Amino acid sequence: MKSLFNDFMDSRFKRLVAATILVLLSVILMSGIYQKWIPRKEKKLTIGVFAGSYWDIENGYYYRILDDAIKEFQKEYPEYEVTYTSGILKSDYSEWLAEKMLQGDVPDLFFVPGDDLLTFAGIGALRPLNNLISLDREFDPDVFYPSVYLSGQENGIQFALPYECAPNMMFVNKTILDREGIPLPDPDWTWEDFLEICGKVTHSTDGTGVINQYGVSGYSWVDAFSTNGVGLFDEEGRSCDFTTPQIGEAISFLERLQAGNSGYNVSGRDFSNGNVAFQPMMFSEYRAYKSRELSLKKYSGFEWECITMPAGPSGDNISRLDTLHVALSSRTSQEHAAWELMKLLTTDKKIQREIFDYSEGISPLKDITESEETADMILEGTGTAFNMDTLHRAMEKSVTAPRFPGYEEAREQVSIAVRSILDSNSNVQMEQIIWNRTINNYLKTRR
């Protein structure tokens, strides 16, 4: 045996060939491409998905849309067995995905929460879709709302397709406005309108002189910044510009808004008790709590409606957008099938329409969201004549905040800064410069 081995190893050429074969073997092993070559009767496709709604609203239809999509998919590709692990909580989902990645057992395609998209793209776990998109003639990115579609991009590379989304909107207590004789604001209303209404509604209603009706709750600097055209961080989160006049305007506006409450910290409970005129909320909540089917009616004591966010002097009536994406694993061996299933989930009209049936988000497909059918469905679901134009407007003007790794921590720094400026009485511009340095120092040391 040994002499046989030696004979073989005698020739230089043979040794070179053996070395080449070994290198190829290890490359094949690493890339996982060999899985494609193993002939299987039934091909396997795995999906990563979490239990429950992305919008944190329990509705009992956890996997309904996905199951329908799989059924649809198997009609065309009966040789595929599509599986997913059920019962993973949304809070554990990203960690579960990361563990799967470490174990080399990533699902072929998986849902990616908007906050984690850039994290997973950054570690190379997501398959860039650009060439799949350019090769696929059936696929047309224009069917999506542009801002929703772009939220799956980083540096021009499309990493994911939007599955469902929701803009944040301003909820209005119509009962209060009617009582005060104030009409519902225009869709292109401004901060000044907003302040005026808040001023009008903030007073005591029971004659005790203690203020018990307020203008707004839960309106944060994030809302003010996004509606005043503030771009806070650069794309990679390496630097922050906190000194712009738009930020100054936003902070002054927040100061005025706070002053109207005369020191009382208005909470979400005040809104649900019917004592507050405005509160920004995700559109998904509107759909959830307006729904007649939902036994728990959270905001039941008053009439309410949702409208666009008020525009700042340098901005627009812009809504922030939260999107649930679907992405392909960069290590998938079933690229083609996974892409087809992904397309089915995100662009198939029948599947996307089910989002309005079984979820609280809205479809990123323009045609579906703006169709008569959807309007009817929302009308039927919420029981109120909802002005669909408001939604379309919000969607067209929506933005997705940059989501670099460590975004939450950086945002917390800005929160501290804004709170501190609001609490102090010194010059806003000076404070902006000081905090600008602090935040940038933080961003530098974080890297």
Partner 1 sequence: MADKSLELYRDNNAEDSTSILQAPGLIFLEMKLLNLLILLFITIISVHALRGYSMDGSALNFLVGAGSVPFFSWKLPVCVAILSVCLLLLLSIPCNNHPELVGKIILEYGIALGICALTGFGYTGIVMLLLADTMRYRIDWKKRIIYVTAICIAFLAMSSNHMYNLLHVIPLSQMWAYYRQDVRSSLLSVLDMLSLLNTLVFILYMVVLTLSQTSEKERILRLNSQLQNANRKLEEYAQEQVRMTETRERNRLAREIHDTLGHSLTGIITGIEACIMLMDIAPEATKEQLRAIAKVARNGITDVRHSVNALRPDALETLDLEAAIRKLVEESESSTGVKIDLVFPEGLQDLDQDEEDVLYRIVQESITNAIRHGKATHIDVRMERVDNDLRIRIADNGKGCEDIQSGFGLHHMQERIDMLKGTLSYSGKDGFVIEAVVPIRVVSEEES
Q: Which residues bind partner 1 (CB under 8 A)?
A: 9, 12, 15-16, 18-19, 22-23, 25-26, 29-30, 94-95, 97-99, 101-105, 119, 122-125, 330-331, 405-406
- Fill in the amino acid letter for 269: R
Instruction: Give which of 242, 226, 160 is closest to 428, Cα–Cα.
Output: 242
Closest CB to partner 1 among residues 103, 265: 103
Closest CB to partner 1 among residues 126, 172: 126
Closest CB to partner 1 among residues 316, 335: 335
Sign of CA dihedral 192, 198, 200, 202: negative
What are the percentages of helix, strand and coil residues in the chain, rounded to 5? 50, 15, 35
- Tell me the closest approach of the beta carbon of residue 51 to partner 1, in angstroms: 18
CA distance 411 to 401: 11
For residue 373, count other CB atoms closer than 10 A to its CB.
10
Instruction: Give which of 421, 417, 413, 414 is closest to 258, Cα–Cα.
Output: 421
- Tell me the closest approach of the beta carbon of residue 432 to partner 1, in angstroms: 30
Closest CB to partner 1 among residues 314, 330: 330
- Tell me the closest approach of the beta carbon of residue 160 to partner 1, in angstroms: 16
Q: Which segments of 78-235 are extended strands (E)?
A: 80-84, 109-113, 153-154, 157-158, 160-173, 214-216
Parallel, antiparallel, or unpaired: how do β-strands 276-282 and 214-216 relate?
Answer: parallel
Closest CB to partner 1 among residues 101, 326: 101
Tokens (6 digits) for 354: 């089910």
CA distance 446 to 434: 19
- Tell me the closest approach of the beta carbon of residue 15 to partner 1, in angstroms: 5
- Tell me the closest approach of the beta carbon of residue 112 to partner 1, in angstroms: 12
- Tell me the closest approach of the beta carbon of residue 117 to partner 1, in angstroms: 13
- Fill in the amino acid letter for 358: Y
Closest CB to partner 1 among residues 22, 259: 22
